[in-house]
């Protein structure tokens, strides 16, 4: 995470799923003088943040329906996805490209790019993200950050025992059991 924050010049977050939210379990501030207000232990909306959407990308369709039924899709900004079908389509894109973007969906003025982290069974167990001020992030910059975050996520996933041959299919794991519950 330190290397990623240094190379990108942006704030790096690590989050896990807990009780229907993305919970930040680690954070490395940007090397620049401006830092994000997020704190370790604070939460992010699953449907509006890049770490949250990366975590949701590992849910089965049934678990996603449970999440939506329990928590809804409240609008946090004008850009927040608040429609079930739009979120499902967006998560298909996240799975296909390997990263999620928060384009001022959770907080105005902030853009983030996140990627899921996989364990040895191919289950999404956490998510990594880079957060930046919107004024600093063009479409080209999003693609640059996406490549960095995907590369870092792949390295961490490999260290967790993930290998493509182990992957039975994204979305095969359930987050409804244990501490990773959606309730």
The pLDDT of residue 35 is: 66
Q: Domain coordinates of the chain in residue numbers?
A: 2-180
Give 26's Cβ-side CA count (13 Å radius): 10
The pLDDT of residue 62 is: 93
Contact 165, 122 (CB under 8 A): no
- Mean pLDDT within 88-110: 95
Where do runs of H (alpha helix) occur along 15-172?
50-56, 61-71, 84-97, 139-159
Give the architecture (CATH level 2) of 2-180: 2-Layer Sandwich (3.30)
The pLDDT of residue 174 is: 37
User: Which of 54-58, 136-140, 167-171 has the lowest average pLDDT?
Assistant: 167-171
**Distance between CA atoms of residues 44 and 169, nearest Å:** 26
Residue carrying the six token digits 């039975």: 168
In the beta sheet, which residues pair with residue 130?
A: 12, 113
Calculate the average pLDDT of the chain.
Answer: 87
Q: Which of 94, 88, 17 is nearest to 50 (CA)?
A: 94
Give 98's Cβ-side CA count (13 Å radius): 14
Is 32 in a helix, a strand, or coil? coil
pLDDT in tens, 29-88: 888 867 677 889 999 999 999 999 999 999 999 999 999 999 999 999 999 999 999 999
Assess whether pLDDT exceeds 70 at residue 11: yes
Assess whether pLDDT exceeds 50 at residue 166: no
């Amino acid at each position: 995470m330190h290397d990623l924050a240094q190379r990108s010049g942006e704030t790096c977050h690590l989050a896990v799923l807990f009780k229907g939210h993305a919970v930040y379990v680690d954070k490395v501030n940007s090397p620049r003088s401006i830092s994000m207000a997020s704190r370790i232990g604070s939460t992010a909306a699953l449907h509006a943040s890049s770490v949250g959407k990366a975590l949701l990308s590992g849910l089965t369709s049934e678990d996603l329906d449970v999440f939506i039924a329990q928590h809804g899709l409240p609008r946090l900004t004008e850009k927040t996805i608040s429609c079930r079908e739009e979120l499902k389509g967006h998560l298909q894109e996240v799975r296909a490209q390997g990263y999620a973007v928060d384009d001022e969906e959770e907080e105005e003025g902030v853009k983030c790019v996140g990627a899921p982290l996989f364990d040895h069974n191919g289950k999404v167990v956490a998510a990594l993200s880079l957060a930046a001020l919107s004024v600093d992030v063009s479409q080209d910059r999003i693609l640059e950050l996406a490549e960095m975050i995907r590369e870092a996520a792949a390295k961490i996933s490999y260290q967790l025992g993930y290998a493509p041959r182990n992957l039975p299919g994204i979305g095969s794991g359930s987050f409804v059991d244990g501490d990773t519950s959606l309730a």
